[in-house]
Structure 1
Amino acid sequence: MDADRHDAGFTLVELLVALTLLALLGTLMLGGFQFGARSWERVAEVSDHRDRVALTQSFLRRRLGDLSAPAGLYRDADTAALPLQGEAHAMRFVSEWQAGPAVSGLYLFRLWHDAEGAEVRLGWQQVSGSATATGGEAAQGERVLLEGVSGLDIGYYGARPDASQRGWSDRWESREGALSLVTLEVAFTDPQRLWPPFAVAPGM
């Protein structure tokens, strides 16, 4: 009689055990999917960050490698011919830029760390070229280059007229001597985000 009942189907205990195992398996699978999704999101985030850093470094390397300043660029006569003025956490410089199709010329750039917004920002204003008459973003604008930034440190290496040897400084005005190297160090609020070493020899 017991054999007949067993052959007829599962007992209640066996059904409960089977359902429990299925629920456990489903939980494990869901957890695995969620972990995979989070991992993929993290990979995509890291990839996007690396792309943005690479683009930022490429842009700055080109602009700083081709500095130029026309006479009378600044209102202050003492700084009229400076292609680059630098501080520890900001700098401004003049360089050629192709801002868009048939839009090019000399631009005055300003790079700085916005501590309140945790951003590195870039502003630009065209001082000569094809877009000055038409205006618009090609002639003047501002953009966030990097987000989640806790610090921006800029170093300047070169020879000053009052120094017998070359050396590092956290400020620079190019009339003071020959600027040989500019370095930028960026620190992010997320320690897993990295800024590769950046150094460029300015072309003047």
Structure 2
Amino acid sequence: MRRAGYTLIELLVALGVMGLLGVMLLAGLSGSSAAWTRMDRSTTHDEAIEAAQDVLRERLQHAWPATRYDLHPAGPDFDGDSARLVFLAPPSDREGPGALRRYGLVLDANGDLVLESLSDVALDQTRPQRREVVLRGVRSLDIGYFGAIEPDPAPRWRSRWRQRPRMPSLVRIRLELAQDGARWPDLVVHPFADMDSECILVVATGGCSGR
């Protein structure tokens, strides 16, 4: 009389199938985990880009066109080319009230986009008091300035804005990022003020009254 049951071959086949299913399940979970990790990394980088743009936009919108009469012709204290930008602006809210600060935007050799600043009334104007890394992993920096420069009256994008009687109408910051797939949307900012209407020339000092 034969008893019902499983043969050794059937047991081995069943174990093989279960093992294959286990491997497939682990591979699926691993792939899903990697996808979530990539998504989280991408989200974090996108948030860093957005925060960097917010900082730069806020500072450049409040760039103050303090008149310098030691320039010929006299014009705002604003100096920039494609690789660097120096401008005056009030301190940010987190810095508290105070004198105007001189900001410098540069790209370090290690790929950090840096915004340096110091008080415009500091005794030592050669060393920045604050150094803020706006964004890491930057491959290249290109700054453009939109406006008209005599004798060319047509407004257009320019790679340099130095010793001009007015501020540029627009400032564009273009970055190339080192991370694959990362994209920096062109940041275009319109400074709120373009001329120092509060400056009254003092001939004796060659500066503005009360400054």
Post-superposition Cα deviations, 1:110-165, rounded to whole Å, max 9, x if no partner, equal 11122x3122222121235xxx79xxxxx822122222222111111111233222
In the TM superposition, what whole-angstrom CA distance separates every residue of 1:7-32 from its partner, at most 9, and x where no partner exists? 3xx32222222222222222112111
Residues in 1 aligned to 2:116 and 2:95: alpha-carbon distance in whole angstroms: 20
Counterpart residue identity of residue 58, structure 2:
R
In structure 1, the partner of 2:135 is: 146
Q: Choose which of 20, 29, 37 in structure 1 pairs with 2:33.
A: 37
- Report if the CA contact (8 A) 1:161-1:177 is conserved: no
Q: Is 1:125 aligned to residue 121 of structure 2?
A: no
Match of 2:79 in 1: 85
Identity of aligned residues (%): 28
Per-residue deviation, residues 149-198 of structure 1 (Å, max 9, x unmatched):
22111111111233222222111125354411111111112341111232
Counterpart Cα distance in 2 of 1:30 and 1:143: 44
Task: Give the partner amino acid of 2:33.
Answer: A
User: What is the alpha-carbon distance in structure 2 between the residues aligned to residue 108 and residue 164 of structure 1?
Assistant: 29
- 1:136 corresponds in structure 2 to none
3-state DSSP class of the match of 2:192?
A: coil
| Greater RCO, CA 8 A, separation 6+ | 2
Seen in structure 2, the aligned counterparts of structure 1 residues 83 and 39 have a Cα distance that, compared at 3 Å, is: farther
TM-score, length of structure 1 as denominator length: 0.78
Name the CA distance, whole Å, in 2 between partners of 1:36 and 1:190. 22
SS of equivalent to 2:182: coil
- Partner of 2:130, secondary structure, is strand
Once the two structures are TM-superposed, the CA of residue 40 in structure 1 deviates from its matched residue by 1.1
Q: What is the alpha-carbon distance in structure 2 between the residues aligned to residue 126 and residue 31 of structure 1?
A: 57
Q: Secondary structure at the match of 1:124?
A: strand
Structure 1: gaps (5+ residues): 134-138
Relative to 1, partners in 2 of residues 1:108 and 1:89: Cα closer, same or farther, differing over 3 Å?
A: same
Asked if 1:51 is matched to 2:40, the reply is: no
Letter in 1 for 2:100: L
Distance 1:69 1:156, change over 3 A: closer
Contact 1:158 1:177 in 2 (8 A): no
**CA distance 1:173–1:160, change in 2 (3 Å):** same
Are the structure 2 counterparts of residues 46 and 99 from structure 1 closer, same or farther at C-alpha, using a change threshold of 3 Å? same
* Structure holding more helix per residue: 1
CA distance in 1, matches of 2:169, 2:95: 32
Aligned alpha-carbon RMSD (Å) = 2.8
Alpha-carbon distance in structure 2 between the residues aligned to 1:155 and 1:148:
21
Q: Which amino acid aligns with 2:87?
A: F
- 8 Å contact kept, 1:150–1:187: yes
Separation of aligned partners in 2, 1:70 and 1:177: 10
